[in-house]
Chains A and B, each alone.
Chain A
Amino acid sequence: MNRSKFSKFGLLLTLLFAVGLLVPAAVAQGPQYITYNSMHGDPIPRAFDEEMVAMWNEAHPLMPVEHSIIAHEDFKQAIRAYLTADPAPDVLTWFAGERARFFIDRGLIADISDVFEEYGFNETYAPGFVALATVDGKQYFLPTSYYWWAVYYRPSLFEQAGITEVPETWDEFLAACDTLNAAGITPITIGTRYPWTAAAWFDYLNMRINGPQFHIDLMLLKESYTDERVKTVFEYWQQLFDHNCFIQDAAAYAWQEALTPMAEGSAAMYLMGQFIVDSYPDELEDDLDFFRFPIINPDVPIGEDAPTDGYFIAANARNLEGGKEFLAFIGSQEMQQKAFDELGRLPTRTDVDVSGAAPLTQKGIELIQTADYVAQFYDRDTTAPMAEAGLNGFARFWSDPASIDQILADLEAERLRILEETAE
């Protein structure tokens, strides 16, 4: 009996203590740290990201950055939960264009005009990128880097098959595929398990056949998917299947896995963004080059995909001031120079020294500068539901090309539904 009575007494005592403690704890000073969620999961960008945070933490011991890295595909799905949470994470990575507009229009993103003002970003950033950051005269997005898309290839395999010049026109491109096939090399590798890689083919075929203006109107849902011009895109795409250009069973691979045949020397080309070098084996990097997606209709302006990445701050951020300081640090000349030197991402600032760049990077800069129009990417230029439907449609076309009419009818129905919903 004694024992149980003691326990009750002890419990009473402890509860009294606990109550006395919680009162002062509730009035403690607000937190002084910055939360930063990023989606740089691939090893090299990830290491860069972590180093950037470590540099900040070293310089600001009392305002450390809490860094979480979330896998790319998961981040894209979680962003809504992050932004609507209260408090939300302070600084987040994201994509420029329609993808950022969606959240800005819903008031989920903090106005960072004062950062642009205070740190002179309005002058030091290229005007096109300031425009990309601006909605209704205020800046919400900090574009930090962009990269180009192109047809990457292994020159040694071209040589082995007897191709001396990179293809510049569609006929040359198909001929190159035939030559490679004859030499026992798969012409093009691709991994469509996550079908966004297939969207690059749609972007480029559409821009090369129908021109960038039609493409961007289609992205903005102003043009119809059942239009004859869209059908033409898939007819050209079909030619690639007819010439056995693509690797077999592409749908089984993620994009990184599809690099393996290229590294092993059994596939020659890959339509991919510049970040391909992050996952490409270092020892083979001398044997990697790229060329502009072949011209199909010489009469239309040249459009290129050059997606811009950057950062924004959640409107619900717990530490708005700290977040802004960290953003200014990310957007500083030093960090952009570092990102350019180490990752080869093209800077959005005009004061980054690009003269020491590798020849491949110089070539990439030229590729974008000689383009007439720069698009972001299929799933960044069009709305999220349309992008999802489009990507699924492309994947379906890939495995079942005969059903193209049905696919396009479904896409058109989806487009009309989205338009109807946004009209209300």
Chain B
Amino acid sequence: MATAIKSQPLREPLDFAGANFLAILYAAIILVAFIFMPWMWTEIKYSGARLMSDVLTGGSLKTFSTWQIVFIPVSALLALGAGLWGLMAPHRGALASVLAAAIGLMGLVYYIDLYWVREGEVAEYIRANLGAGADLTLVALVGLVAQTVLLLPPVNILAQRLGRRASALRPPVPQKWTPYLFLLPALALYLVWIIGPTVYTFYLSLTDWDGVSTPNYIGLRNYRILFSQSALTESLGNNLRWLVAFVTVPTTLGLGLALIFNTDMRGGRWYKVSFYSPLVLSWPVIALVWAWVYHPSKGLINSLLIQSGITSDPPGWLADRNLAIYCIIAAATWRQVGYVMVLYLAGLKNLDPTFIDAGLVDGANRWQLFRHVILPLLAPVTTIVFIISVIDSLRSFDLVQVMTRGGQGTRVLANYMYIEAFNNYRMGYGAAIAVVLFTISIVFVGLYLWRSLKDELEY
């Protein structure tokens, strides 16, 4: 063996991974430039994807491109495929590289057409106003073709050496900095998008900002007005109703369902899925569906009531001032039950069966087993369910907004805030409502965090 190695000439083996990697990189650049960069003028929204859809559908920007633009995303995707194939099957690396170059040539058809074939005022205008995305794509396409030079042995070797040289230039980073360096982008985003706006909202609540003019500092006047409004009482009352309903109804129903489905009953999985499935729907969809269910003349409930002969004059549900908020809460509960059920099911699965067995050995009946063994063991889950229900009830907004827009005495705090800020243009006042909501929520969020931190330390 040793002699065999020696007999080889002293030259490094060719490696086409670099070429394939470049192909993938250029393809990715093309895709990004096509979707996220301007192809005309300077604004991101006039991207290649937008131009392509306008060309294909006859949209308003159809003049600024030709159908050949379809080649661009197609060639990017194909080149991506070729590059990946090359990386995964290294012995085919050279072939993949050539393939990627051919695909790049196909994409260049668009530019050849644009620069040499098309003539006239429109074509000239397009050439003069091409955006950065179009330019970058051109370079990336040329790059896609050019990466084949790495197939030439001298270039390939040179590139390998250069790569080694470059990686030696990496600055040393102390080990203990690493986690913080990784955290830094997330923390920066959190600061800019969460902490900053929260603090700013506190400031805005002390101003009379209308969304247009410069905010003027007016002290606590927004709060003084707010606490004298009947709308605040209505909203708080509704939030309270929501809260009471949410910590009782879905919690008990969810626990009951979890206990039932925790046994190995026939088709239990399907029942579980069907109770859980409302969670897949977004709140506005649930609101629309239930608004139809509650429709006074054609809705499901009233049709059933009338056809079954129970009553000929059924209530108007959402149109009835005394019922509307309960109708909305009922719709919310429908979704929440499945959520609570899943939480409890997870809790039940984690129970240590030895406790239950011990209870059975001691002769406990089913109720005693539930009351004195299972329920206490589920206490951590119950706390979490309780706090999640409270937070969900406080942040309720979507259902009210879609189903009644806060009419019929159904306003909740979030809804009241939205209407004042964005409908009545009283940003300062809206901010004051937001601060009130925040203050109430923070108590429960704090409880939740404290609880989950404690649990984490225990495990």
Contacts and interface: CB of A to CB of B under 8 A. Distances in A.
Interface of A: 1-14, 17-18, 21-22, 24-26, 28-33, 53, 57, 61-62, 64-67, 76-77, 80, 83-84, 103, 106, 108, 192-195, 248-252, 261, 384-385, 388, 392, 395-396, 399-400, 410, 417, 421
Contacts of A193: 404-405, 407
B319 interface: yes
A8 B41 CA distance: 32
Contacts of A399: 319-321, 408-409
Interface string B315-350: 011111100000000000000000000000000000
A8 B163 contact: yes
B42 interface: yes
Nearest to A400: B321
A12 B230 contact: no
A11 B409 CA distance: 60
A31 B15 contact: no
A28 B25 contact: no
10 contacts: A7-B21, A9-B162, A14-B26, A14-B29, A17-B136, A66-B60, A80-B422, A248-B296, A399-B319, A417-B225
B160 A385 contact: no
B434 to A, nearest CB: 17
Interface stretch (B73-81, B125-133, B387-395, B448-456): B125-133
A28 B127 CA distance: 11
Contacts of A400: 321
A24 B138 CA distance: 14
Nearest 3 interchain pairs by C-beta: A5-B163, A6-B18, A25-B132
B423 interface: yes
A31 B60 contact: no
Contacts of A251: 316, 318-319, 404, 407-408
A196 B271 CA distance: 44
Contacts of A64: 60-61, 63
Contact of B135 (A24, A106, A384): A24
A385 B425 CA distance: 8
Contact of A5 (B43, B130, B167): B167
Interface in B8-22: 15, 17-18, 21-22
Contacts of A195: 407
A84 B212 contact: yes
B457 interface: no
Contacts of B122: 61-62
A14 B212 contact: no
A21 B402 CA distance: 47
Contact of B295 (A53, A57, A252, A417): A252
B91 to A, nearest CB: 15
Contacts, number: 166
B366 interface: no
A249 B319 contact: yes
Contact of A77 (B17, B40, B423): B423
B168 to A, nearest CB: 9
Given A64-B63, A249-B320, A108 B167 contact: no
Interface string B266-303: 00000000000000000000000000001111000000
Nearest to A318: B43
Contacts of A24: 135
* Interface-centre pick from B17, B26, B130, B319 (highest chain A CB count, 10 A): B319
Interface residues of B, number: 63
Contacts of B61: 33, 64, 66
* Interface-centre pick from B22, B167, B297 (highest chain A CB count, 10 A): B297
Nearest to B419: A388
A2 B41 contact: no
Contacts of B295: 252
Nearest to B23: A10
B247 to A, nearest CB: 29
A315 to B, nearest CB: 11
Contacts of B132: 21-22, 25, 28
B129 A28 contact: yes
A28 B294 contact: no
Given A7-B21, A17-B143, A248-B316, A77 B422 contact: yes
A384 B423 CA distance: 8
Contacts of A384: 423-425
Contacts of B316: 248-249, 251-252
B3 interface: no
B197 interface: no
A121 to B, nearest CB: 26
A395 to B, nearest CB: 5
Interface string B206-236: 0010011100000000000100001000000
B121 interface: yes
A252 B405 contact: no
B17 A3 contact: yes
A8 B321 CA distance: 67
B136 A421 contact: no
A193 B288 CA distance: 14
Contacts of A385: 424-426
Nearest to A81: B211
Given A31-B46, A396-B321, 4 more contacts: A26-B42, A31-B40, A80-B422, A399-B409
B176 interface: no
Contacts of B422: 77, 80
A265 B22 CA distance: 70
A419 to B, nearest CB: 14
B167 A62 contact: no
Contacts of B423: 76-77, 384, 388
